Amino acid sequence: MTATPDAPIGRRTLLTAAAGGGVLFLAACSQSSPKAAAALPKSSPTPAVPAVTGVSPASGSLSGGTTVTITGKNLRGASTIVFGSGEPLQLTAVSDTEATVTSPPSVDYAAVSVPLQLLGPAGQRIDTAQNYEFAAVTPVDKQMLYAFTYWKNYNTAEWGVFTGNDCGNFVNQTLVQRGWKQSRAWYSNYATTGAFSLSWVRGTPMFNYLSSRPDVTHYSVDQRDKVKVGDVVMFDWDPQKHDGVDHTMVVSRVDKNADGTIAIKLVGHTVDAQYRDLDTAITVEHPGGTAHFFSIAS
């Protein structure tokens, strides 16, 4: 038998020959050099759960706008925070242990303590074990707290009620709560003595009184971008008659719509409402009507 050259050993080849019954049996075993194992997919690490250890300040205005600092850990993993039953608000992470948020208005201007919840990286709600207290801090807070307490359940014991025409009486009550002082030109003792000024209950005298105050600015319906919560609105349902204003309410919300327009909601009596829509009032309910704004200096 003639020997054959070994096979090239690029991959080490083991050749084994065994003769039997005139037949040559060859057994070959090829051992490849190790290949890199296929890379296994790496699972993403589970994000650390955010936690809150402190809130400062822990209370603020019913009207919102307070800058609140949240301290804790893993706060970069928290996208938003929820005050009570409100909408989620964006958190601004200063570091992994500190974030800030601007407080929203209290729902219906209620003076309440509400729980705070974070929304974690997976969208899960995380109880912070912390509360935030809404309090009547500013004059407008006090005005709106009163308005939302008595918009439906009238404060008749203190102020009485002008049946069928209580809108001015109610608006002026809220202004007293805001800090305005009664005077001979503007007052009501109706519940106790039956006395009151016409500027307290009648449209045109009230219009004139508001216009005379140095802390009040009169705007037209086209200047609604200057209006804010707590301002007074006076309606003229039929301006073509030139017979004065017909109804008055307090601004309870100012919303900027997606198209850039501004929606104004109102609280008041006679048409008892918390969020009556101004545009609906002067188009659908009273076509051709208009409104005057009396913006009050803070």
pLDDT digits (tens, 9 = 90+) for 229-248: 999 999 999 999 999 999 99
Among 82, 105, 135, the domain boundary falls at 135
Same domain as 95, residue 228: no
Is 274 found in the same domain as 183? yes
Quickly count: other Cβ atoms within 10 Å of residue 28's Cβ: 9
Mean pLDDT to the nearest integer, 27-48 = 55
Is residue 24 a part of any domain in this protein? no
Alpha-helical runs (H) found in 76-230? 139-150, 156-159, 167-178, 198-201, 203-212
Are 116 and 192 in a shared domain? no
Domain count, the chain: 2
Per-residue pLDDT at 3: 47
Q: Which residues pair with 21 in a beta bridge?
A: none
Give one DSSP letter per residue of 210-244, joined into a string.
Answer: HHH-TTEEEEEGGGGGG--TT-EEEEES-GGG---
Task: Kindly report, residue by residue over 267-286, the tens digit of the pLDDT.
Answer: 999 999 999 999 999 999 99
Residues 147 and 287 in one domain: yes
Structure confidence at residue 24 (pLDDT): 42
Whole-angstrom distance, CA of residue 163 vs CA of residue 215: 30
Are 91 and 80 within 8 A, CB to CB? yes
Final residue belonging to a domain, choices 100, 117, 135:
135
51 pLDDT exceeds 60? yes
Does residue 32 belong to any structural domain of this protein?
A: no
Residue 68 lies in a domain: yes
For residues 298 and 190, give the distance between their C-alpha atoms in angstroms, rounded to a whole number. 28
- Residue 121 falls within a domain, yes or no? yes
pLDDT digits (tens, 9 = 90+) for 179-227: 999 999 999 999 999 999 999 999 999 999 999 999 999 999 999 999 9
We report the CATH number of the domain holding residue 86 as 2.60.40.10
Decide which of 104, 119, 135 is a domain's last residue.
135
pLDDT in tens, 84-110: 988 899 999 899 999 999 999 999 999
Gap between the Cα atoms of 272 and 262, Å rounded: 22
Check whether residue 237 and residue 109 sit in a common domain. Answer: no
Q: Is 50 helix (H, G, I), strand (E, B) or coil?
A: coil
Q: What's the rounded Cα separation, in Å, for the pair 131 and 251?
A: 29
Q: Which domain does 267 fall in, by range?
A: 140-296
| Residue 40: inside a domain | no
